[in-house]
Amino acid sequence: MIRVVSMRRFFGRKFFRDIFNKLIGKDKKLKIGFYGHPNSGKTTLANRMTNDWIGKPIGLVSEIPHETRRVYRQEHVTLKHNGVELDFDIIDTPGIATKIDYKNFLKFGLSEIEAKERAKEATKGIIEAIKWLDDITGVLLVIDATQDPLTQANITIIGNLEARKIPFLIVANKIDLPEASAERISSVFPQHTVVPISALHGEHTDDLYRAMVKGFK
Amino acid sequence: MDTVNTNSLKMDFLSSTALSSQTSMEKISMIVDKVKNGDLVVMEGGLSPGEEAELIETTMREIDVENFMGIDIYTLEKDKKSFFGLSKSKTIGITIIGPANVMKAVKKKSNFLSMIANLGDSGASMH
């Protein structure tokens, strides 16, 4: 007996759903890159986020610049806000700079050999961070709100995100410090959303999660 | 390669016309070569965001912890009016790129840039 099986049954519902999702781009994995200067608090924020949503940190933090010298990835972080879920991968990148002077690391007690090694690793990390711009689908640009935000690294990152049409939010971090000014960041980049937070103390992270659901969903 | 004199600073001024005939890679190699040689490059206009990223990447590859610690880039912007003059946006007027160990103190306002170049024991300032 010849059985006629319908196309739908033959391929199954999942097959058609996958094709449909591909067509509308829904299957594209959301990869959110954490970009910014060294010591702006990218890894502190990534740790805050992974602790809040999956209960474990992603990387080490320290006061010595260029602590993160390679890209760290945490897959499947699901953030929930007002009943809306945002499932994404965190791509924590090394801080972007145009120069690295190993002598700056000596001030933190590193030996000359350690400082030079750190500088060499940092240059590789910056190249890796720039390469990741080709593969990320959203960005949190983390800016230390106690510092001048108008730097070449920030200008280059924003310029590249705009040119590549990658959605991004500016995170004004370290607002717990008295010299911090999120307004200074907003005045320099008035056309972009700036979310003031303290990643270290978890202040206003709810505002960031709300903005992420709105901006990246 | 030119001989580097530690007590002098060479500045190359490049017009946008001269730069427009170069490919991105040619521009970046030319800038990095000059800056590694201790020179300051003053360009009319600026690099595209992609070229800026490429310049940082190339600089990182060229960093030698003993002799070359990287670059500093500063830009001065100017207003750019649309065809009907209805909207205003910013465009880069001048870009200054130099060795990070030479460009020491930089004060920047929206229409003013002041820089102190560090030349070993002596110093030179430009505004």
Q: Quick: pLDDT tens for A37-78.
A: 999 999 999 999 999 998 888 877 777 778 777 899 999 999
Q: Which of B63, B72, B100 sits opposite A123 (nearest CB)?
A: B63
A6 assigned to some structural domain:
no
**Residue A41, Cβ density class (10 Å: 0-12 exposed, 13-18 middle, ≥19 buried):** buried
Q: Is B41's pLDDT higher than 90?
A: yes
Q: What is the mean pLDDT of residues B114-125?
A: 67
Spatial CB neighbours of B63, under 8 Å, sequence gap ≥ 6:
A99, A100, A119, A123, B69, B70
pLDDT attached to residue A24: 47
Spatial CB neighbours of B79, under 8 Å, sequence gap ≥ 6:
B88, B89, B90, B91
User: Are A127 and B60 within 8 A, CB to CB?
Assistant: yes
Q: How much of chain A, in percent, has pLDDT values that exceed 90?
A: 70
Helix axis angle for A112-132 and B49-62, nearest 10°, is: 150
- Two tokens, residue B69: 């610690």
- Residue A159 is part of a domain; what is its CATH number? 3.40.50.300
Give the CA dihedral B49, B51, B54, B55, nearest 10 degrees: -110
Q: Is B99's pLDDT higher than 70?
A: yes
A19 assigned to some structural domain:
no
Spatial CB neighbours of A48, under 8 Å, sequence gap ≥ 6:
A199, A200, A202, A205
Residue type, B108: K
Q: Which of B50, B71, B108 sits opposite A99 (nearest CB)?
A: B71
Lowest mean pLDDT among A13-17, A205-209, B40-44: A13-17
B3 assigned to some structural domain:
no
- Two tokens, residue B122: 């002596």
CA of B81 vs chain A CAs: smallest distance (Å): 17
User: Are A156 and B49 within 8 A, CB to CB?
Assistant: yes
A48 assigned to some structural domain:
yes
Question: What are the residue ranges of helices labelled H in A25-111?
Answer: 42-54, 103-106
B114 assigned to some structural domain:
yes
Domain that holds residue B115: 11-126
B4 assigned to some structural domain:
no
Q: Does A119 touch chain B (CB under 8 A)?
A: yes
Predicted model pTM: 0.84
Q: Which residues 150-189 in chain A show a CB within 8 A of chain B?
A: 150, 152-153, 155-156, 159-160, 162-163
Domain that holds residue A78: 28-216
Rounded Cα distance between B102 and B96, Å, is 12
Q: Which of B57, B59, B65 sits opposite A102 (nearest CB)?
A: B65
pLDDT attached to residue A17: 56
A127 assigned to some structural domain:
yes
A17 assigned to some structural domain:
no
For A126-162, the pLDDT digits (tens) are 999 999 999 999 999 999 999 999 898 999 999 999 9
| CA dihedral over A3, A8, A12, A15, signed as positive or negative | positive
Q: How confident is the model at residue A216 (pLDDT cuts 50, 70, 90)?
A: very high
Domain count, chain B: 1
Mutate to test the interface with B, among A93, A98, A162 (most CBs of B within 10 A): A98
ipTM for this prediction: 0.82
For A201, other C-beta atoms within 10 Å of its C-beta total 13
The answer to whether the CB of B117 falls within 8 A of the CB of B103 is yes
Q: What is the mean pLDDT of residues A187-212?
A: 96
B36 assigned to some structural domain:
yes
B22 assigned to some structural domain:
yes
Q: Is B14's pLDDT higher than 50?
A: yes
Contacts of A120 in chain B (CB under 8 A): 65
B1 assigned to some structural domain:
no
pLDDT attached to residue B65: 86
The answer to whether the CB of B95 falls within 8 A of the CB of B126 is no
User: Are A160 and B72 within 8 A, CB to CB?
Assistant: no
For A85-105, the pLDDT digits (tens) are 999 999 999 999 999 999 999
Q: Is A15's pLDDT higher than 80?
A: no
Q: How confident is the model at residue B126 (pLDDT cuts 50, 70, 90)?
A: very low
Domain count, chain A: 1
What value does the mean pLDDT of chain A take? 88
> Coil, helix or strand for A16?
helix
A38 assigned to some structural domain:
yes
pLDDT attached to residue A11: 55
